[in-house]
Structure 1
Amino acid sequence: MATPAFEEIVEDFEFLEDWEDRYRHVIEQGKAMPPLDDALKVPATKVDGCASQVWLHPIIEDGVFRFDGDSDAMIVRGLVAVLRKLYSGLPLAEVLKVDARAEMARLGLNDHLSAQRSNGVRSMIERIRKVAAEHV
């Protein structure tokens, strides 16, 4: 159920044997992501439940979901980038069908993130699902 962009990350991770390399790859994903305009870093786009500051700005056009996002922490910014690749470009109804936990597990992220980071990822996923559900 993942997008082709997410499948590329899965393939990249298959070649990265240790967690440090995977961690660096996640950070690189975040560095490659365009920054979120400061005007969009407002309470309405801020994600609660994250140890660092995280903003997700959903964009829904013609029934297709995508979002821009940002964080003040490099690894979290990378996780936002990974989630963008998982969800962006999907029809709204498909967003709700994605088993994000299972997809992220394919990257081995569930085993290597701190409890706080894992909670943050869950909060981001919940926000994405909530926005999609409101627009289906």
Structure 2
Amino acid sequence: MTTTLETLFDDFSVLDDWEDRYRYVIDLGKALPDMDAALKTPATKVNGCASQVWIHSRVESRDGIKYLAFSGDSDALIVKGLIAIAFMIFAPKPVAEIGSVDAQAIFAQLGLREHLTPQRSNGLASMVARIKADAARALQEA
């Protein structure tokens, strides 16, 4: 996936209509690389989402700094797009910084909080919690 968070903000700024933004989020989900079916296990399933959601993270080291690399999937296209946005937020960050990222503020800046159903917002919060837990676990294993 090559879209960055900066690109996402730029693209959202030129899309005035929320229907267009929803289509854009769905396109992000379609562009998300397929998740290996073997990774769709109870351990990678994200609880608290109305849709089926799986997130798998693995630790990668670049120049001695640990990062998380993600794969994810959902049975709902809009949710798959939200997964892609979550990955844009967290993947570029070192593991040590992930816990301090205010993803909810980023979602609010994008306008997502006010345009998602409460169930989708809760699911998004569950995805963020999973990613932060994975990062905390990676820090403990260091």
For 2:96, the aligned partner's letter is A
Query: Which 4+ runs in 1 deviate beyond 2 A?
Result: none
* Cα displacement string for residues 5-40 of structure 1 (whole angstroms, at most 9, x for unaligned residues): 111101100000011111110000000111101110
Match of 1:85 among 81, 85, 88: 88
**Higher RCO (C-alpha under 8 Å, 6+ residues apart):** 1
Whether 2:133 is the aligned partner of 1:130: answer yes
For 2:77, the aligned partner's letter is M
**Which residue pairs with 1:46 in the alignment?**
45
CA distance in 1, matches of 2:85, 2:60: 21
Q: Structure 1-normalised TM-score?
A: 0.94
**Which residue pairs with 2:74 in the alignment?**
71
Unpaired runs of 5+ residues, structure 1, are none
Report % sequence identity. Answer: 53
Deviation at 1:89? 2.7
**Which residue pairs with 2:97 in the alignment?**
94
* Cα displacement string for residues 32-56 of structure 1 (whole angstroms, at most 9, x for unaligned residues): 1111011100000000000010000
**Which residue pairs with 1:15 in the alignment?**
14
Q: Structure 2-normalised TM-score?
A: 0.91
CA distance in 1, matches of 2:137, 2:36: 24
Higher alpha-carbon Rg: 2
Deviation at 1:104? 1.0
Residues matched between the structures, number: 133
State the Cα RMSD in Å.
Answer: 1.0
Whether 2:35 is the aligned partner of 1:36: answer yes
Unpaired runs of 5+ residues, structure 2, are none
Deviation at 1:60? 0.9
SS of the counterpart of 2:34?
coil
